[in-house]
Every structure is written in C-alpha cells, then in structure tokens.
Structure 1
Amino acid sequence: MTFVSPAEPESNRKLAYLLLAIALFIGVLMLPTPEGLSASGQVALGLLVLVIVLWISECVSPATSAIILTGAAVLGLMGKPLRAGGPPLSSAGALNAMLTGYSSSAVLLVASALFLAVALKLTGLDRRVALLVMSKVGVSRSRLIIGAMLVGFVLALFIPSATARVGAVIPIMVGITAALGLPITSSLGATLMIVTASACSVFNMAVKTGAAQNLISLNFMQQAFGHTVTWGAWFVAALPFVIALCVVLYFAALLVLRPEVPGKAEAEARLAEELGKLGSVTPAEMRLMAVAMLLLVMWSTEGSLHPFDTATTTQIGIALLLMPRIGVMHWAQAEKLVPWGTIVLFAAGISLGTLMSTTGAAAWLAQATLGRLGLEALPIFLVVGALSLFSIVLHLGFASATGLASTLIPIMIAFAKTLPFGEQAAFGIVLIQSMVVSFGFILPTNAPQNMLCYGTGAFTIAQFAKVGLIVTIAGWLLILLLSATWWPMIGVL
C-alpha cells in the first residue's frame, strides 16, 4: 500500500498553478500584437497575467513570485525596445528595467515602517496600548466593539502592517472572550474577530502610512502626476468616509452577529491582570513612545511646518531607534523579524507598474476595458462610483492588496488621464481608488488580516460575508455621496 503525504496534494496544486502561470505568460507573448500595443507592452501584459495567477493562487511565496517576475521580464524584453524608437534591450537593460522599483523612496518608507512595527513588538508597547485601550473602554457588547475599533485605529497610526496589527490584537480578544467564560466560537468571539479584521481594513484607508498598498499607489501617482499627497491631506480626505464606515461596521456587527456578554467583572479583572503582568512602562517603551509621537507630529505637519516628506522623517525615526542607548533595538534583533518578502514584493510591484506605464501597456489596457464603458459622458461622482465598483469586484479574486494596487492603479491612472475633468480631478479619482484597494470585507481570503482572524475558528465564512456585504455596499454608497459633496469641497475632485 502506498501512503500519500498530506503535503503532496497541496504541492501538486501549487505546481499546477505555477505551470499555468508560466503557460499563460508564454501564450500572451505568442499572440499577434494588438493594434496600438508595442511588443514590449505585450510583454508587460504577459507579466501582468503571470503575477496575477501567482498572487491569487499563492502557489509561491511573495519573494519567489518577485524573482520569477524579474526572470520572465528579462527573457521577454530582450531584443525589444522599451519605448517606441528606442534601442533593443540587452539582458542587462531588461534587468535594469525590472529593478527600478527597488530604488523607489516608497520602498524605503515601507521598510522603515516595518522596522517601526518590529520595535513595537520587541518592546511590547503594541500589547500595552491594546490592553490599556480595552481596559479603559469597558466591558459590554457595545463597548467591546468600540474598543476593538479604537485599538485598530491607534495601532494603525504607528504600524503599517495589517498583519502585525491584527497579530498583536488577536490574543487580547481571545483572552477577553475566555475571561467571560465563553468559547472563541461564541457570538462574542465571532464579533470581536470580525470587527478586528474589518476595522483593520477601514483604518488602512484612514492613514497614509497605514498600509503598503497606499504607498505603492502614491508612488505611481507621483510618477504620473509629478506630485503626491501629504499625510495630513490624506487623513482629512479619508476622515468622514472612515468615521461613517466605522458606524456601519458597529451596527452591522451588533445586529447581524448579536454578541452576548454574560458578565463583565471577570473580564475586567482579566484585563487588569494582563496589564499588571506587563509591569510599569520600561525606559525602552518611553523612548519608543517619544520617537513614535515625534513621527506622528512630523507626518501630520508635512508640507506645512517643515519640508521633509514621509519617507525621510520615517527613515530618521528608525535611525534613532537603532542607535545605542537612544534606540530600543539593534540590527541583529530587527532583521530577524522584518518580513523581507513583503519589501521584495512591494518593489517588484512598483517595477511592474512602472513597466506597464513606460511601455504603454497600462494606457492600452485602460482603453480596452474601462474605455469601452462610456464613462467620460457621466458626472464625475458616477465615474468614481463605477471605477470603485470595478475595483471592489476585482478585489474578490485577490488575497493581497499590494498585488491589487500594483495591478490596478497604473490602469486607473492611464484611464483617469483620458477623462475630460482635468489633471487635478484625475489625481483625485486615482487617490480615491487607492483607498478602495483596501476594501477586503467580503471574504476571509481578501486580506491577510482576515485570514489571521479566520484561523482562530471564531467565525464562519457566511458570518464574515454577511457583515462584509453590508459594509461594502454602504462603503460604495458613501463613495458616491462624498464624491458629490466632501471631496469636491476640499479640492480632491
């Protein structure tokens, strides 16, 4: 009798998806070049198909997908001009074209912000903040939901990784549920886990530095429009949207999941006990708080009180945290905890988006898809609504918002520039779409933080989808409303 390892079917599935991705890439290159698309642009579209299959199937790690993307790009671009009338690319030239993303300041910003997340984890400050907020808010079903949201917001100000934020909060929510004598599969456990995951997606949209997909979108916008948006301007633009979405999430969780809280004395005692275990605030935590507050002030006053951009101030903050006596960690500690695969994927995504723009593939694809919908004849708020609906539906197939941003934003930029609303409005349209990229509310597979919470076994896919559909529909309606009112009023549109 032959025994099959449980890992073998999964390995076979991953290999099948990898071979499918490669076959589709080769298939796109073998097709006749469409009218209006250059040979290098056709290669860029082939690479887009390749990485979409790799990202959706997750058949290889993020870093491996970046290596495959780069190798395929070199093989596909060799002998073809990058731009019309340019010289054919050598292997070195093709490789340079696919390494442009690694020199982007946005990559430095993401790396620096991930180091900040590591500092919070090493000192335990993230856990202290979460416990403190939950203990101050109180224990009742309404207060616990609000507390979970407040924890998500506070951590989003300082931790740019959704996975890191949710990873810090999950043990606390599990502990609260257990302290009330309830299993994690109870209605309260399901509510806390779903709210934790969904609030994380909401606050990704609230804070410019809250998520890598925001930064990758802004990098493309900087290249296309010659300017970006400050931390404070992003926050002001997103604030009404985020507040309204939090209200919707609160009532959706309360009415759909109907959490039950039998008593609060034990939970309050548990929270106090966990806080007590942390002891008094350590000197390292105090230094980290000082640097974090300095960064928050510098980010929020960017462009008004000082000339430094977000990437520069964040890099300076990380330099302080790595200094002897002044800092809270050293390189050997930090490098083991930083998710380097995320940084590599981020840089590769920028490289692909830049290639699509440079070769004209993004403009061609925008006209071949969005350009056929007749949106240019509609009012701007309906255009934003239609594009947002397109993004939301597309997100259902993606497990990585970074991957979605790398795929979608260059196409949105190319299309927005063809609309008869002016360049400032085009910038605003893309800015709104960069927020919509974080709409990972419907399926657990739509975002890593969803999967972390789903992995606790607290809720079913159906429960998550019921709450997520309400939040998604309400969010889309809010986009229509704000596109007709708030965003034109503040000059976004």
Structure 2
Amino acid sequence: MKHTKLISGIIGIILGVVIAFFIPTPVGLSHSGMVVLASLVTANIFWIFNVIPSFVTGLLMLSSWVILRAVDFPTAFNLFSSTTMWIIIGGLGLGAAATKSGLINRIALNIMKLFPANFGGQTLALFTAGTIISPMIPSAHPKTAMSTPLALGISESLGYKNKTKESSGIFLAAIWGFLVMEASFLSATAQNYAFKGLLPQKAQSTLSWGNWFMMMLPWTVVALVFGFFLLKFLFAPKDDKPASKEFISKQLQELGPMSRNEKITAIIILIAIVFWILESTLKIPAAVTALCGVSILVATGVLTPQDISKRLSWNTIIFIGTVMALGNVMQVVKLTTWLRVILKPVISPMLSNVYITVIALPIIIYLCKFVVVSLISTGTLIIIALLPFFSTLSFNPAIIALVVTTSVNIWMLSYMDAPFLTGMAAVNDKMATRVALAKSSLGYMVINIIGLLLCVPIWKLMGIA
C-alpha cells in the first residue's frame, strides 16, 4: 500500500510538471490555465490514491497557483472567506452540540418507542428518526457512529443473530435513515454545501434550504417508501411478530430527564432551521444564523472552546474550501472555456436533456465510485468536469449538485462509502454481510434514478428545468 501511494505520488508530480512546463500551451489556453490544469491532474491522482491527506493535497494545490503565479493569493484562497465555508463551520458546531448533549440519541429512541418492536416497525422507526435528525447534524460520521449501535441493540432485542439477513436489514435501516436521507436537506451534510459552492453564483442562490427541500421532495418520498419495501423484501424474517421494547425503554431510562443542555440545543437548532427556511424572506444569511447559534451554545456552556477545536472536523472543512476554490479559479484563468471545447463531443449529449442527465450522470458516478473512494472527491471531480458546460445548459446547474449528492452515496463494496465503514466499526462489524451491502446498494442505485426522474416535473414547475 505504501509503495502504491509513493509510486502514485511520483507519477502525479511528474505529470503535473510535464503539463505545466514541457507541453506547449494549446490555442485558447494561457500558461496560467496550464498551471491550474497541471495542478488539477496531480491533485486528482493524489486524491484517488490517498497519497497524503486530502486537505493537505488541496492546500498544496492552492499554494502552487500562487507560487507559479497562475493567480494571486486573494483569488486562490477566496473561498475561505465565503458564506459557504462559514455555514459549514456553524452547522458542524450545531451538530456537535446535538451529539454531545445527547439530544440526538433521545430523539431517536423516542421515535423508536412509537413503532412496533418487529423488523418492519423498527426499520420504519430508523428511517423516520434518521430523516428527522439529518438536517440537525451536517456530518455523516457522527450520525452513523451513533445510529448503528442503536440498531445493534434493536437487532439483539428482537432475537436476531449477528451476520444474518435480519441483522443486516436492521443495520441498513439505520444507515438508510441516517446517511442516505442526507440528500433531502441542504444542512444534512457538509458535502451538500461543498457541491453547492462549486456552482456559479446564480445557481447557488437557487439552492436555499427551502428550495433544496422542495426540489428533493419527490426523491425523498421515493427513497423512503421504496427503500422501506426494499429492505423488507430482502431482509425481513418470515415470522415478523412484535417483541419486547425493553432495550429502548432501558436506554431512555439511562438517559434520564431531558437536561438543560439538551433543551438549549433543541431550541437553538429549531430556531436555526426556521431561519434557514425563511432565509430569503428574513434576509439573514444562513451562515450568520448558524454562527449566532454556535455562539449562544458556547456562551451558555453547552459547547466549550475545547469542543470547537476537537469536535469539528477541521481537516474536512479545509478540504472543502480547497476543492471549492477550483471552480472560481478555473473560470478566472479561462480553463473552463477551453475544456468546454475539448469535452463537448463527449459530454454535450448527456446534458442535452434533463431526463437524460438524471439517468446517465448517476450511472457515471456509480462507476467512478469504484475508483475514487471519497464522496466529496467524487462529487467534486464530476462537477468540475461539467463546470465548463454550465453556461450552455438548458436547465439550472443547481440540478447537477442534487444529482451528484444523491449518487455518490453508494456502498456496493464497503470501501466505497467512508461513513458506512464508521457505522460498521461502531458495531465491530457484527451486523451486515457483504452480500447484504451489495444487494441493498444495487437497489438504492435504481431507486435513486427513479426518484430523480420524478423530481423533474417539480423542477419544471419551479422554472429550473
């Protein structure tokens, strides 16, 4: 593995140097454009083979632009002062408070208590809990780390043995609810903001919290309904009689009464979501709402300065900032214009019609996921490849971000989805079999395309398709 990384890194650097300094600059492209193209090729190789941490690769890419005078420092690092970066930081802060206080655990358990204690009931409970909790925590790893141990407890209380189809189904219900349904809400994961930030400014303004939810509503319904029946069909036991809810009751008893910190966190998050929904009416940027919320949580002692430094994934935040910078810089150096001419024969047919796009683009992303493991890296590479064509699309580029965010979350092989690995590690890989993962992922891949197709009429009504 180390040799693979070393060899890949050397090849990446050599290719970058050759493109930047030894290949004649093509007609229509400046030397600055060649430098950015070279750095992009090198960075992609580093990201695909995980040569060094992704955020370090991103920082080196931005720094290379300044060192080689492709663009100046303010242009290269402009995205780090954008509202997108600050809402990611604020959103992760709110999520840290919800996790630390125990609020998320309490919400999930109380929802589970309302449903029958059998496979179907608890699958529906995990779907419901995950969907409700998703917009509160913009990070997949804490949600899967928290939800899968709950799923293990439910599976054991229902009498399912480990690594059976039934335990696999309960595990996947937790993953489906808490991870897959992230695509329904802008605030449910930092990668949604990252993909949004790569779009042109006009397209970004389309994707407010409320618009994102409405644009994804048909997909959300399809993903929940079809997903529920898929898991029941694949994994439910023949005799699905209700069992005791003792596990859930015991967990709630251990939590005790709702704490002061939980109450404060719940109020702040509820207010934040309302303000995000009404962002265009209130004229208060979503980033400001999130940062005010985090500030109140720190002032009231729910979060400490140590929590801010340890509970926020700063390497992810930095990585997102570096990849979002690509879109702006590629346009500044006219690289997008040149790439549009080069790639037009291949990409234009796929983007000629919105229905063709929502079928073809997910399939391309599925194939890419066999090579590029990182969800954010995959989505970023796809959006960057399509960036030159945004000005010629017959539909709003915001649709591309939605298609990407639903399609990168596949788990045909466990290595394809890092949050899945987190969930599996949280239960010591006791629950799901590899065959169960593959079957459910294949089902999701089909459901995803059906859901996106049913979104198109809504997009047309909204005037963006």
Query: What TM-score does the superposition give when structure 2 sets the normalisation length?
Result: 0.90
Deviation at 1:224, TM superposition (A): 5.7
Contact 1:112 1:314 in 2 (8 A): yes
1:213-362, aligned counterparts within 5 Å? 213-223=191-201, 225=203, 227-259=205-237, 264-266=242-244, 268-304=245-281, 306-323=282-299, 326-362=300-336
Give the match's secondary structure for 2:25.
Answer: coil
Give the match's secondary structure for 1:375.
Answer: coil
In the TM superposition, what whole-angstrom CA distance separates every residue of 1:146-167 from its partner, at most 9, and x where no partner exists? Answer: 1121121122120000111111
Q: Quote the residue 1:137 is aligned against.
A: 115
Which of 394, 400, 406 is the matching residue for 2:380? 406
Contact 2:127 2:176 in 1 (8 A): no
1:92-103, aligned counterparts within 5 Å? 93=72, 95-103=73-81
Structure 2, unaligned runs of 5 or more: none
Structure 1 residues 311-320 or 55-64, which shifts more? 55-64
Give the match's secondary structure for 1:183.
Answer: coil
Q: Which runs of 4+ in 1 moved over 4 A?
A: 259-264
Deviation at 1:257, TM superposition (A): 3.0
Which whole-Å CA distance do the structure 1 matches of 2:274 and 2:162 have between them? Answer: 38
Q: Quote the residue 2:368 is aligned against.
A: 394
Which whole-Å CA distance do the structure 2 matches of 1:437 and 1:392 have between them? Answer: 7
Contact 2:350 2:361 in 1 (8 A): no
Deviation at 1:229, TM superposition (A): 2.3
Contact 2:203 2:396 in 1 (8 A): no
In the TM superposition, what whole-angstrom CA distance separates every residue of 1:18-37 from its partner, at most 9, and x where no partner exists? Answer: 33332332243333333333
1:66 to 2:58 alignment: yes
Deviation at 1:440, TM superposition (A): 2.6
Q: Quote the residue 2:2 is aligned against.
A: 11
Contact 1:249 1:471 in 2 (8 A): yes
Change (3 A) 1:376 1:173: closer
Change (3 A) 1:377 1:196: closer
Deviation at 1:384, TM superposition (A): 4.2
Q: Quote the residue 1:57 is aligned against.
A: 49
1:47-126, aligned counterparts within 5 Å? 47-75=39-67, 77-78=68-69, 80=70, 82=71, 93=72, 95-126=73-104
Contact 1:202 1:438 in 2 (8 A): no
1:463 to 2:436 alignment: yes
Deviation at 1:52, TM superposition (A): 2.1
**Amino acid of the residue matched to residue 300 of structure 1?**
I
Change (3 A) 1:474 1:11: same
Contact 1:299 1:310 in 2 (8 A): yes
Change (3 A) 1:149 1:401: same
Which of 423, 426, 445 is the matching residue for 1:453? 423
Which whole-Å CA distance do the structure 1 matches of 2:168 and 2:128 have between them? Answer: 18
C-alpha RMSD over aligned residues: 2.5
Deviation at 1:211, TM superposition (A): 1.5
Which whole-Å CA distance do the structure 1 matches of 2:132 and 2:351 have between them? Answer: 42
Deviation at 1:48, TM superposition (A): 2.1
Which of 198, 202, 206 is the matching residue for 2:184? 206
Change (3 A) 1:192 1:58: farther
Deviation at 1:327, TM superposition (A): 4.4
Contact 2:369 2:416 in 1 (8 A): yes
Deviation at 1:404, TM superposition (A): 2.7
Q: Quote the residue 1:487 is aligned against.
A: 459
**Amino acid of the residue matched to residue 442 of structure 2?**
L
Change (3 A) 1:11 1:383: closer
Contact 2:144 2:178 in 1 (8 A): yes
**Amino acid of the residue matched to residue 237 of structure 1?**
M
Contact 2:28 2:338 in 1 (8 A): yes
In the TM superposition, what whole-angstrom CA distance separates every residue of 1:117-136 from its partner, at most 9, and x where no partner exists? Answer: 21112211121112222222
1:185 to 2:157 alignment: no
Which whole-Å CA distance do the structure 2 matches of 1:294 and 1:61 have between them? Answer: 36
Change (3 A) 1:430 1:211: same
Q: Quote the residue 1:85 is aligned against.
A: none
Deviation at 1:312, TM superposition (A): 1.5
Q: Quote the residue 1:426 is aligned against.
A: 396
Contact 2:88 2:190 in 1 (8 A): yes
Contact 1:371 1:415 in 2 (8 A): no
Which whole-Å CA distance do the structure 2 matches of 1:388 and 1:35 have between them? Answer: 33
Give the match's secondary structure for 2:396.
Answer: helix
Change (3 A) 1:53 1:152: farther
Which whole-Å CA distance do the structure 2 matches of 1:275 and 1:370 have between them? Answer: 58
Which whole-Å CA distance do the structure 2 matches of 1:381 and 1:206 have between them? Answer: 20
Contact 2:206 2:398 in 1 (8 A): no
Query: What TM-score does the superposition give when structure 1 sets the normalisation length?
Result: 0.86
**Amino acid of the residue matched to residue 464 of structure 2?**
V
Q: For this pair of structures, how many residues does the alignment match?
A: 461
Contact 1:204 1:438 in 2 (8 A): no
Which whole-Å CA distance do the structure 2 matches of 1:234 and 1:408 have between them? Answer: 20
Which whole-Å CA distance do the structure 1 matches of 2:306 and 2:463 have between them? Answer: 46
Which of 4, 17, 20 is the matching residue for 1:26? 17
Contact 1:222 1:228 in 2 (8 A): no
In the TM superposition, what whole-angstrom CA distance separates every residue of 1:386-428 from its partner, at most 9, and x where no partner exists? Answer: 3343334334433222223332324334213123x3xxx2334
**Amino acid of the residue matched to residue 491 of structure 1?**
G
In the TM superposition, what whole-angstrom CA distance separates every residue of 1:338-389 from its partner, at most 9, and x where no partner exists? Answer: 1110111111111223222222223433443354355289444224433343
Q: Quote the residue 2:172 is aligned against.
A: 194
Contact 1:140 1:261 in 2 (8 A): no
Contact 1:33 1:39 in 2 (8 A): yes
Deviation at 1:111, TM superposition (A): 0.9
Give the match's secondary structure for 2:279.
Answer: coil
Structure 1, unaligned runs of 5 or more: 1-9, 83-92
Which of 166, 178, 189 is the matching residue for 2:144? 166
